[in-house]
Amino acid sequence: MIHQWEPKHTLDSSTALNVIREQFPSLCPKKIRLLGAGWDNTAFLINEDLIFRFPRRECAVSLLESEWTVLPKIAPYLPLPIPIPQWQGSPTPTFPWPFLGYKILHGITACHANLSEEVREALAQPIALFLSRLHATSLVSIAECQSFEKNVSHLHWENLILKTLHNFEEMSQHNLLEHRKELESMVERLQDVRAPTSSSVVHGDFYVRHLLVDKKHHLTGVIDWGDMHLGDPAADLSIAHSFLPLRSHDAFRDAYGWISKDTWELALLRAMYSSTSFALYGYHSGDHLLKRESLRSLQIIKDGAYL
């Protein structure tokens, strides 16, 4: 089976280091380490303090262009650090697309931190405040980015339901899914939720692996903005359903500000789709931490079947 995350172009560490050396000799790049490979980009750590991200698929090129243009503009208004691209690489004979470099943000991903439910509850308010500020970003800040497009069709309930049910079937084939009937019943009740809007700047891929925390489990940053677009806040608000305990939802909503019932339900549907997709990605890629986190999310969602 071909999955949507399979790359069109891969890059090994040695080749990446040579490309960076050729284009940015003043950085004196000597050491390189593979940091991770996601759906759209491969990330390398250079000299322990710089990160360079190379697209794995051609569609990711325009996403990096959005980061290059928009992130420096919105960073001063956000309550948490975000990566600001400072080096823009050009295509070479050995790599066909542009790429970006950033100074590293310190912390570890929440996925690697294996946070307790109590710690997650404490993070509800700072996460909500961050999203509230992001979603209130002035659209003037993105006016110069021609590649920064509206992107809401993927959030329509018909698409989400179809893809989620497909993921349920594949997860069942791999013995990954518990409580399938309860989850399918939830999906059915989410039919006809409101259509998505293009009202806000959204991160677009706001989940556990893109939150950074320190040793005391305080938030230190939000990374991987490749899916940033002009879209519906529900895309990001899904973090409440997938990451936070049920008992923290009221605190999250109080800190964020008013969230309509339809928006909350659309966020829930997005969380179900994302959690099933990441569970499958974790299973097929051997990312056991992401698989564990995604299966936990589905358990929490099942426990909250109160719509």
Q: Could you tell me the CATH number of the domain that includes residue 22?
A: 3.30.200.20
Domain end among 48, 72, 103: 103
Q: Position of tokens 């931190």? A: 113
**Which of the residues in the chain have pLDDT under 50?**
2, 5, 307
The pair of structure tokens assigned to 265 is 């339900």
What's the pLDDT tens digit per position in 240-281? 999 999 999 999 999 999 999 999 999 999 999 999 999 999
Rounded Cα distance between 170 and 28, Å, is: 46
Do 20 and 153 share a structural domain?
Answer: no
From residue 288, give the alpha-carbon distance in Å to each of 2, 154, 177, 274, 278: 20, 27, 15, 16, 11
Q: Is residue 4 part of a domain?
A: no
Contact 87, 67 (CB under 8 A): no
Q: Is residue 119 part of a domain?
A: yes
Rounded Cα distance between 273 and 271, Å, is: 5
What's the pLDDT tens digit per position in 191-242? 989 999 888 999 999 999 999 999 999 999 999 998 888 889 999 999 999 9
Q: Is residue 6 part of a domain?
A: no
Domain end among 75, 103, 131: 103
CATH number at residue 197: 3.90.1200.10
Q: What residues make up the domain containing 87?
A: 13-103
Do 76 and 119 share a structural domain?
Answer: no
Do 188 and 82 share a structural domain?
Answer: no
Do 84 and 194 share a structural domain?
Answer: no
The pair of structure tokens assigned to 209 is 């692996």
Helix (H, G, I), strand (E, B) or coil at 60: helix
